[in-house]
Amino acid sequence: MNSGSCPVSEALIELRERLDKGVLSHPRCRTIAEQALGLIRDIAWARAGRDHLQALEGLAEQLAAWDGDPSCSETGQHLKSALFEHHEAFASHIKTKNCPTGQCVRLAPAPCQMACPAGIDVPTYVTLIGMGRYDEAISVIRKDNPFPWVCGLVCTRPCEFMCVRGRMDEPVAIKPLKAFAAERAFSTLTYNNPPKAPDKGRKVAVIGAGPGGMSCAYYLAVMGYQVTVYEDLPVAGGMIMVGIPRYRLPREVIDREVAMIEELGVEIKFNTRFGRDVTFASLQEEGYEAFFVAVGAHEAYSLSIPGEKDFEGVRDAIAFLKDVALGERHAPGKHVVVVGGGNVAIDAARTSLRLGARSVTIAYRRDKDAMPADHEEVEQAEQEGIHFAYLTIPVEVVGENGRATGLKCLRAELVAKPGSDRMAPLPIEGSEFVMEADAIIAAIGQKVDDSCLADLTAVDWTHRNTLCVNSVSMETTMPGVFAAGDAVTGPATVIEAIGGGKRAAQGIDRYLSGLPQPKTPPVPVRRSMLPHLQTSAETKMTLERPEMPLLFLDRRRTTFQQVELGFDEAAAKEEARRCLRCDVCLRCGKCVEVCRDRMKVNALELGYFDFDHPVKTDFRKIEEKCILCGACATNCPNGAMQIRDEDGWRVLSLCGTRLNRAPLVQCSMCKEPLGTERYLEFVKNRASQGGVPVSSMYLCVNCARKTGAHSVSENLPHNHGETP
Amino acid sequence: MSLKQGQKVEIFQCSKDESWEQYMDGFVGLHGIITDPDASINDPDDLVEVSVVGKGTFRLPQDCLRVLED
């Protein structure tokens, strides 16, 4: 698992050792220490409630104040100082039910949840989807992300990159599962808001109605703050509305999720630019006590090549996509060249195609391998007929009569850069050529438009021209002003903006409550501990990640209809069953070790346990060697590996996946279940190695003893009641 | 360094970049996966999104990263 020490786990071990070693001799003192140990164990095992910490502090105080026994007061002092120094860690264990170090094994969080910038409890909602409880799945997601449907369609899914299933075959399709559940919950009118806290009567201004701003507004509204969002555009959504085309993210999806946030009382003032229509001072006068800035990065970099400013038909992708999102329906040109290699370039190209351009080419200065765009987007663009000109460097826009007619380019080759492992494109001399183009769209990056933030004079900026914040609380250097999203990170992802908005809401709540800000990033919260979905090893191994059904090609090339059609219910439920439940199995390897090293059976070849060097795993092969002894289950610290007897069979399962089962052999005399035949053979072989004779009958201990005693008695000479 | 999505990396040293915060010192020696490389221009100065095993997902400067495999 993870490195680092956990103060809760350390306190537990230390107190247990003191008790075990008899350090505390006074009986009353021992009783108090045992009570304290019980409370710490509750905290480490996700069983603690709000009162635990206070009760624990009380017991530590009693021990520390103990007069009669110095070891007792020393133990109390030690515990007191641990609770004082690591108060946040103890409180975090109780609140989040997660221990990021993995040392409190019951609280080791799943890698997918840890990977999510918003900290969504992925295993819980995936399991709920597998159970058909879609509305509950959405409620779980919205505790950490108020845009499950949006993210189900456009998230960059860091969770899937960390998905442990990906070490075996393909990661669980976490993103589409989220979209499926959200759509179903909206469709069945079960997509609900959480209850709001009572109105605090305090006002917070949010600048920007993008994913970061709306997320912050949502969590503040749930906490009882009065939130007003100021938005420059006539629509909500920010970059997800005006930067992501409708064939990837339908407007209705954004509108529905924004409407849910508005239902909580969040007011959005459209066409209102901060720094022009409202100012920092005017909002302060209106009674706003805290500010959240999430203005995004809407200003594009220019190509900086000759001719760029001289001809009509040259524009940047951000402005182009925004115009189309707000209603523009004319093709930018007949022959379009998009310059760039990121997702924005792909979006601009596919949008141009849908508007009727005859040819669309993406010119990128490196090769396909170095392209930062999502490979699925690249693949879909290729299917639709977008041309890719790799290793192509634009050098000049050429034109006639004030109108662009082409883009002069040079061929390039990638060469190693001195002192760096980075391959750089080097223009090939004499390779000049002109690509025919009456529309040239630059998609080479965006930056923050800082003109609207001139009011915020005490805010520091980074050398990247982004807002400088503490990434834990999202505080800027100006008291009461918080920030997140692209304005802080530079052009980044939707889920990072959402995570930043959520952290900022917590930071603003602390700021307005006069509480100190935390020093380390928040630990994601475990929302539930659900039972496993039951499945066979065969099913677990053979279920494949479903292919995403796509709209047919002709319609994709001509309309803005959603390309990815989503999973149907059967596919979603099946996909949920591929989840390995890493919130329960923390891949500590104790089961593998005991099976291999102690039992010498070596049945559990679970190669996916290793992050750096995963090797093959096949749950189906386990039954070939497994003797169903149960040593693995006994040594599993988390109850992930379980062995149980069911209807005359012994069954071994790992997080609900049945790894092996065999009929139980019963005692030949009393019929008590003894174990499986293979297990009894194993015991017999071990016993015979030690030279102990074993009967051919299967007898339980009691019956064996009785039989043995009877046989001895029969062989003894009758003593007729005489004493020796 | 030209980083790609899905690439395994090690945080092998603290960064001197202004975006490096104190709590990130605890990341040194840990492994992770690039989940979002710099978005469009492969700028070595850009922050990249890395999912660090057991810690979470963060935007980190590239000078603290070392690629573990291609």
**pLDDT given for residue A92 in this prediction:** 86
Give percent above pLDDT 70 in chain B: 87
The residue of chain B nearest to residue A103, with distances taken between CA atoms, is B54
Query: What DSSP character marks residue A596?
Result: I
How are strands ordered across the β-sheet holding A439-442? A314-316, A439-442, A335-339, A359-363, A387-389
Structurally, what CATH architecture does the domain formed by A7-106 represent? Up-down Bundle (1.20)
**Torsion angles phi and psi, residue A645, rounded to 5:** -100, 130
Collapsing DSSP to helix, strand or coil, A597 comes out as helix
The pLDDT confidence band at residue A722, using thresholds 50, 70 and 90, is very low
B11 half-sphere exposure, CB direction, 13 A CA radius: 26
Q: What is d(CA A293, CA A209) in angstroms, rounded to the nearest whole number?
A: 10
The residue of chain B nearest to residue A494, with distances taken between CA atoms, is B36
Identify all chain A residues contacting B40, using CB atoms and an 8 Å cutoff.
340-342, 344-345, 372, 443-445, 491
* The two structure tokens encoding residue A363: 């010119």
* The two structure tokens encoding residue A224: 């009882």
Can you give the residue ranges of every domain in chain B? Answer: 8-67
The pLDDT confidence band at residue A2, using thresholds 50, 70 and 90, is very low
Angle between helices A122-130 and A174-187 in degrees, nearest 10: 60
What's the gap in Å between the CA of A702 and the closest CA on chain B?
49
Collapsing DSSP to helix, strand or coil, A439 comes out as strand
Closest CB from B18, B56, B67 relative to A114: B56
DSSP A529-597: -PPPPPEEHHHHHH--PPPPPB--HHHHHH----SB----HHHHHHHHTT---TTT-----HHHHIIII
**pLDDT given for residue A256 in this prediction:** 97
Is A444 within 8 Å of B40 when comparing Cβ atoms? Answer: yes
- β-partners of residue A293 are A207, A483
Mean pLDDT of chain A: 91
Which of A546-555, B14-23, B36-45 comes out lowest in average pLDDT?
Answer: B36-45
**pLDDT given for residue A459 in this prediction:** 94
**pLDDT given for residue B39 in this prediction:** 52
Closest CB from A4, A156, A463 relative to B35: A156
Is B68 within 8 Å of A612 when comparing Cβ atoms? Answer: yes
**Torsion angles phi and psi, residue A164, rounded to 5:** -65, -30
Closest CB from A463, A519, A520 relative to B18: A463
Is A471 within 8 Å of B42 when comparing Cβ atoms? Answer: no
Closest CB from B18, B22, B36 relative to A492: B36
Amino acid (1-letter code) at residue A285: E
Q: What is d(CA B23, CA A135) in angstroms, rounded to the nearest whole number?
A: 37
**pLDDT given for residue B42 in this prediction:** 59
Is A366 within 8 Å of B35 when comparing Cβ atoms? Answer: no
Rg (CA), chain A: 32
Contact indicator for A455, A115 with CB cutoff of 8 Å = no
Helix (H) or strand (E) holding A162: helix A158-162
Rg (CA), chain B: 11
The pLDDT confidence band at residue A419, using thresholds 50, 70 and 90, is low
Q: A267-281, A655-669, A678-692: which has the highest mean pLDDT?
A: A267-281
Global ipTM? 0.92
Provide CATH 1.10.1060.10 ranges for chain A.
Answer: 111-192+531-576
The correct CATH number of A203-297+448-513 out of 3.40.190.100, 3.30.300.30, 3.50.50.60, 3.40.50.300 is 3.50.50.60
Amino acid (1-letter code) at residue A618: D
The C-alpha angle with vertex A228 and arms to A222 and A231, in degrees rounded to 5, equals 125
**pLDDT given for residue A689 in this prediction:** 58
Distances (CA, A) of A458 to A89, A226, A604: 33, 25, 60
CB pairs under 8 A between A and B: 135
Q: What is d(CA A79, CA A71) in angstroms, rounded to the nearest whole number?
A: 12
Cβ contacts of B8 within 8 Å, gap of 6 or more: A612, B31, B32, B33, B67, B68, B69
**Torsion angles phi and psi, residue A259, rounded to 5:** -60, -35
What's the gap in Å between the CA of A272 and the closest CA on chain B?
29
- β-partners of residue A441 are A315, A338
**pLDDT given for residue A393 in this prediction:** 96
Give percent above pLDDT 90 in chain A: 70
The pLDDT confidence band at residue B69, using thresholds 50, 70 and 90, is low
The pLDDT confidence band at residue A106, using thresholds 50, 70 and 90, is confident
What's the gap in Å between the CA of A7 and the closest CA on chain B?
16
Which residue of A88, A98, A116, A161 to mutate against B (max B Cβ within 10 Å)? A161
Which residue of B1, B2, B16 to mutate against A (max A Cβ within 10 Å)? B2
Contact indicator for B21, A471 with CB cutoff of 8 Å = yes
Contact indicator for A150, A257 with CB cutoff of 8 Å = yes
**Torsion angles phi and psi, residue A718, rounded to 5:** -65, 135
Mean local confidence (pLDDT), A700-719: 71
Contact indicator for A627, A603 with CB cutoff of 8 Å = yes
Is A496 within 8 Å of B37 when comparing Cβ atoms? Answer: no
What's the gap in Å between the CA of A576 and the closest CA on chain B?
22
Is A161 within 8 Å of B55 when comparing Cβ atoms? Answer: no
The pLDDT confidence band at residue A328, using thresholds 50, 70 and 90, is very high
Does pLDDT of A244 surpass 60?
yes
Per DSSP bridges, beta strands B47-52 and B56-61 are: antiparallel
The pLDDT confidence band at residue B64, using thresholds 50, 70 and 90, is very high
Q: What is d(CA A43, CA A94) in angstroms, rounded to the nearest whole number?
A: 6
The residue of chain B nearest to residue A423, with distances taken between CA atoms, is B2
The correct CATH number of A111-192+531-576 out of 1.10.3720.10, 3.10.129.10, 1.20.210.10, 1.10.1060.10 is 1.10.1060.10
pLDDT digits (tens, 9 = 90+) for A26-64: 888 988 999 999 899 888 887 788 889 999 999 999 999
Is A115 within 8 Å of B57 when comparing Cβ atoms? Answer: yes
- β-partners of residue A410 are A393
Is B35 within 8 Å of A462 when comparing Cβ atoms? Answer: no
Identify all chain A residues contacting B43, using CB atoms and an 8 Å cutoff.
445
What's the gap in Å between the CA of A511 and the closest CA on chain B?
20
**pLDDT given for residue A686 in this prediction:** 79
Topology classification of domain A333-442: FAD/NAD(P)-binding domain (3.50.50)
What's the gap in Å between the CA of A636 and the closest CA on chain B?
20
What's the gap in Å between the CA of B19 and the closest CA on chain A?
8
* CA dihedral of residues A248, A251, A257, A261 (deg, nearest 10): 130
Which of A423-432, A568-577, A585-594, A691-700 comes out lowest in average pLDDT?
Answer: A691-700
DSSP A69-81: -HHHHHHHHHHHH
Q: What is d(CA A298, CA A448) in angstroms, rounded to the nearest whole number?
A: 6
Mean local confidence (pLDDT), B39-61: 82
Closest CB from A161, A341, A472 relative to B51: A161
Cβ contacts of A375 within 8 Å, gap of 6 or more: B5
Is B8 within 8 Å of A612 when comparing Cβ atoms? Answer: yes
Query: What DSSP character marks residue A595?
Result: I
Mean local confidence (pLDDT), A136-148: 96
Class of domain B8-67: mainly beta
Place of tokens 């997800």: A240
**Torsion angles phi and psi, residue A20, rounded to 5:** -65, -35
Tell me which residues of chain B have a C-beta less than 8 Å from any C-beta of chain A: 1-2, 4-6, 8, 18-19, 21-23, 26, 29-31, 33, 35-47, 49, 51, 53-59, 67-68
Which is more confident, B37 or A410?
Answer: A410
Per DSSP bridges, beta strands A433-436 and A446-447 are: unpaired
**pLDDT given for residue A160 in this prediction:** 95
The residue of chain A nearest to residue B1, with distances taken between CA atoms, is A422
pLDDT digits (tens, 9 = 90+) for A345-372: 999 999 999 999 999 999 999 899 888 8
Place of tokens 């998609």: A443
Count of beta carbons in the 10 Å neighbourhood of residue A311: 19
Sign of CA dihedral B46, B47, B51, B54: positive
Which is more confident, A20 or A288?
Answer: A288
Identify all chain A residues contacting B7, using CB atoms and an 8 Å cutoff.
none
Alpha helices in A494-535 (DSSP H): 494-513
The pLDDT confidence band at residue A693, using thresholds 50, 70 and 90, is very low
Count of beta carbons in the 10 Å neighbourhood of residue A550: 14
Closest CB from A3, A156, A375 relative to B36: A156
Mean local confidence (pLDDT), A309-313: 95
Helix (H) or strand (E) holding A474: none
Identify all chain A residues contacting B36, using CB atoms and an 8 Å cutoff.
156, 158, 492-493
The pLDDT confidence band at residue A690, using thresholds 50, 70 and 90, is very low
**pLDDT given for residue A27 in this prediction:** 86
Contact indicator for A447, A299 with CB cutoff of 8 Å = yes
Does pLDDT of A721 surpass 60?
no
**Torsion angles phi and psi, residue A475, rounded to 5:** -75, 140
Q: What is d(CA B21, CA B58) in angstroms, rounded to the nearest whole number?
A: 11
The pLDDT confidence band at residue A175, using thresholds 50, 70 and 90, is very high
Count of beta carbons in the 10 Å neighbourhood of residue A367: 16
* The two structure tokens encoding residue A357: 């351009």
Q: What is d(CA B34, CA B50) in angstroms, rounded to the nearest whole number?
A: 5
Place of tokens 């094994």: A105
Q: What is d(CA A393, CA A247) in angstroms, rounded to the nearest whole number?
A: 29
Cβ contacts of A686 within 8 Å, gap of 6 or more: none
The residue of chain B nearest to residue A462, with distances taken between CA atoms, is B18
Is A370 within 8 Å of B2 when comparing Cβ atoms? Answer: yes
Does pLDDT of A672 surpass 90?
no
Distances (CA, A) of A180 to A118, A150, A152, A564, B20: 19, 11, 8, 11, 38
pLDDT digits (tens, 9 = 90+) for A605-623: 887 777 777 778 889 999 9
Which residue of B10, B28, B36 to mutate against A (max A Cβ within 10 Å)? B36
Closest CB from A345, A372, A421 relative to B37: A372
Q: A299-303, A316-320, B59-63: which has the highest mean pLDDT?
A: A316-320
Is A370 within 8 Å of B4 when comparing Cβ atoms? Answer: yes
The C-alpha angle with vertex A378 and arms to A376 and A380, in degrees rounded to 5, equals 70
Give percent above pLDDT 70 in chain A: 96
**Torsion angles phi and psi, residue A58, rounded to 5:** -65, -45
Q: What is d(CA A596, CA A600) in angstroms, rounded to the nearest whole number?
A: 5
